[in-house]
Amino acid sequence: MLYHLLFPLSDAFAPFNVFRYITFRAAGAAVTALLLSLLLGPWFIQRLRRMQLGQVIREEGPRTHQEKAGTPTMGGLLILVALLIPTLLWARLTNTYVWLAVGVTFTFGMIGFLDDYLKIRRRHNRGLTVRAKMGLQVLAGAATGLLLFVLPGFESTLAFPFLKDLALRLGLLYVPFAVLVLVGTSNAVNLTDGLDGLAIGATMVAAATYAVFTYLAGNVVLGGYLQVPLIPGVGEVTIFCAALVGASLGFLWFNCHPAEMFMGDVGSLSIGAGIGIVALLAKQEILLILVGGLFVLEAVSVILQVGSFKLTGKRIFRMAPIHHHFELVGWAESKVIVRFWILSLLFSLLSLSTLKLR
């Protein structure tokens, strides 16, 4: 919005020319998102408490988590506000990719909102049925994949980070592939959201990493030099990524251990889908395995745990997702969180290193 209001005035007032630069507007979006989170956070917490929207802790979880019962949840609404408002404020509103990122994030957030609402209403840690929850996510993912498939100028190809000359054309298979990326990422973040600040800290790192990739994908000079897939116009999504970094940092202020509020599914599903759609738009879907390496580890730990128990009757970990395993081994919650943050940062650095590797 600011771009459309102020940049046309740059002929009369030269300083407004800075609004043409994505980097300037991305920084503005990040700062705006951070300030919104910090300013609105206390009010959100107060409202959530007044409405008695407290977290219901699963009975089979670590006993130490039972003391967290009643902590205000659905704080993901704060993340959505702090993410979407700065994005629309600083991005070019004529850009289709920005609206896709905003739309997908909001849609998955509403699925999470419905799940959270049912949990609170029933006073139980089960909201939507697995079939209903997955069905809604698959439907949203399929609609997104179809929109991308028919979008002029957007190719349904799959790029490979270490083989930059190779691009696999998926055709209509791109639709189920998009479903896999969006549903997989949103649920992986959801599984990671089990300790104070763990998921939002890793999200901040992943969003910052994809801010680099989206900027390069929209920059002919830098993107051409590094041989990344070039998608004209996708550079504007950098502003969305920057806003997600700011919103994550602001939410972490209230979500760090001991948390004053939890994000709930409205937060984890929305930011997971947000990362997923950015990966699709930047043509860095395979690299998502590395950028979101922590989320992948959490999801794989659950798959292995369930598979092992069904096949052999034995568990691999003391509890899944894997962060609970380390809690039961004896690590303090804060130690698990910080060490997992370090892992997410390591995965981010490794993914950025692929820019110079063929």
Whether the ω angle into residue 232 lies within 30 degrees of 0, i.e. cis, is no
CA distance 22 to 217: 13
Instruction: Quote the pTM value.
Output: 0.93
Q: Tens digits of per-residue pLDDT, 258-307? A: 899 999 999 999 999 999 999 999 999 999 999 999 999 999 999 999 99
How does pLDDT run across 13-27, given as a tens digit for each residue? 888 889 899 999 999
Maximum CA pair distance of the chain? Answer: 74
Residue 58 has pLDDT above 70, yes or no: no
Of 195, 200, 279, 233, which Cα lies nearest the Cα of 33? 200
d(Cα 108, Cα 276) in Å, to the nearest integer? 11
Inter-residue contact 94 to 7 (CB < 8 Å)? no
pLDDT at 125 over 80: no
What does the mean pLDDT of the chain come to?
91
131 to 28, 134, 136, 191, 310: CA distances (angstroms): 40, 5, 9, 17, 20
For residue 57, the model assigns a pLDDT of 59
Instruction: Count CA atoms closer than 13 A to 105's CA, side-chain side.
Output: 28
Q: Look at residue 119 in the predicted model and tell me its pLDDT.
A: 82
Which residues are registered as beta bridge partners of 163?
160
| 218-272: pLDDT as tens digits | 999 998 888 888 899 999 999 999 999 999 999 999 999 889 999 999 999 999 9
What average pLDDT does range 299-323 have in this prediction? 92
Each residue of 170-229: pLDDT tens digit?
999 999 999 999 999 999 999 999 899 999 999 999 999 999 999 999 999 998 888 888
